[in-house]
């Protein structure tokens, strides 16, 4: 099976043209004409991801976060970031990026979050093109912020969460409408308010943005960016199902390398 065949099937589910403006998606490293026998799903391309791919003799990595997201000034091998890319090229390992298109697509990452957290009747948070949008807003059984926070921690295996509130007494506030956006979705908080959500779950919330949210009466939970690792499990399941149903001569692997850059201490 060629890389082009596998990508064609993937893009029938998750088209590149669903990507948000200015986003990076598609094949970044390798050739569409390469034969694929083993494909691996990963959230990030880091040293440990590359080492795992080499050890497992992977031909193609489908990744959410693009390894090339800033202009390259050189490819000097002594630079750590460059070595990651050069090792992929030397080992002839292709890299295909699926970033905001997997967030936007129906039954993609944000819908998987809703399923995991029992968020019902989800609609998109902000329209990105007619009929499609980033993030989700939906309903939960009435519960306190503290109860929902505990559910989030269990669902994602988190040791801690950041609560955006001036007072921990807000943990007792009862909520029933939630907005969620994987990754760093803080810029969409006005849409959260417009859609009537009482709490926003997203990562990487800045200090001043948190204050602005609170001035508008919006509480938030910040679980970090790494909850997007759900991408790996869910897409490995989906590609594995396609491989069985369509008799692909391809083995599908979920990366086991952790690329989480923060630890609670």
84 shares a domain with 22: yes
**Number of domains observed in the structure of the chain:** 2
124 shares a domain with 93: no
CATH classification of the domain holding 134: 3.40.1390.30
**Could you tell me if residue 238 is inside a domain?**
yes
Helix H or strand E segment including 220: strand 219-222
215 shares a domain with 122: yes
**Could you tell me if residue 57 is inside a domain?**
yes
Whether pTM > 0.85 for this model: the answer is yes
Residue 63 structure tokens: 């990744």
Task: Tell me the C-alpha distance between 85 and 108, whole Å.
Answer: 28
Taking CA atoms, 12 is separated from 9, 77, 102, in Å, by 5, 37, 12
**Could you tell me if residue 233 is inside a domain?**
yes
**Could you tell me if residue 30 is inside a domain?**
yes
Task: Tell me the C-alpha distance between 44 and 262, whole Å.
Answer: 14
Burial 154-178 (b: 16+ CB within 10 A, else e): eebeeeebebbbeeeebbeeebebb
- pLDDT tens readout for residues 53-108: 999 999 999 999 999 998 899 999 999 999 999 999 999 999 999 999 999 999 99
**Mean pLDDT over the full length of the chain:** 97
**Could you tell me if residue 73 is inside a domain?**
yes
**Could you tell me if residue 263 is inside a domain?**
no
185 shares a domain with 94: no
- pLDDT tens readout for residues 165-219: 999 999 999 999 999 999 999 999 999 999 999 999 999 999 999 999 999 999 9
120 shares a domain with 92: no
Interior angle at CA 19, CA 210 and CA 28, nearest 5: 110
Task: Tell me the C-alpha distance between 83 and 67, whole Å.
Answer: 12
42 shares a domain with 86: yes
User: Residue 33: what pLDDT?
Assistant: 97
**Could you tell me if residue 150 is inside a domain?**
yes
**Could you tell me if residue 261 is inside a domain?**
no
156 shares a domain with 73: no
155 shares a domain with 110: yes
Contact yes or no for 181/136 (Cβ under 8 A) = yes
115 shares a domain with 82: no
Domain that holds residue 116: 106-223
């Amino acid at each position: 099976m060629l890389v082009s065949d596998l990508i064609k099937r993937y893009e029938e589910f998750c088209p590149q043209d669903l990507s948000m403006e200015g986003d990076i998606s598609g094949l970044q490293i390798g050739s569409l004409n390469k034969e694929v026998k083993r494909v691996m799903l990963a959230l990030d391309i880091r040293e440990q991801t590359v080492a795992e791919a080499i050890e497992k003799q992977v031909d193609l990595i489908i990744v959410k976060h693009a390894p090339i997201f800033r202009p390259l000034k050189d490819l000097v091998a002594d630079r750590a970031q460059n070595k990651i890319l050069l090792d992929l090229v030397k080992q002839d390992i292709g890299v295909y990026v699926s970033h905001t298109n997997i967030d936007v697509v129906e039954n993609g990452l944000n819908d998987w979050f809703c399923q995991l957290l029992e968020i019902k009747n989800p609609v998109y948070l902000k329209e990105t093109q007619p009929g499609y949008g980033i993030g989700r807003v939906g309903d939960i059984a009435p519960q306190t912020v503290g109860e929902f926070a505990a559910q989030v921690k269990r669902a994602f295996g988190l040791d801690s969460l950041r609560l955006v509130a001036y007072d921990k007494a807000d943990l007792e506030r009862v909520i029933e409408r939630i907005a969620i956006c994987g990754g760093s979705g803080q810029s969409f908080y006005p849409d959260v308010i417009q859609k009537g959500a009482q709490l926003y779950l997203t990562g990487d919330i800045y200090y001043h943005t948190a204050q602005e949210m609170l001035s508008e009466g919006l509480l938030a939970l910040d679980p970090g960016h790494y909850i997007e690792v759900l991408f790996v499990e869910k897409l490995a399941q989906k590609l594995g199902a396609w491989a069985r149903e369509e008799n692909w001569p391809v083995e599908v692997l979920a990366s086991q390398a952790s690329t989480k850059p923060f630890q609670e201490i």
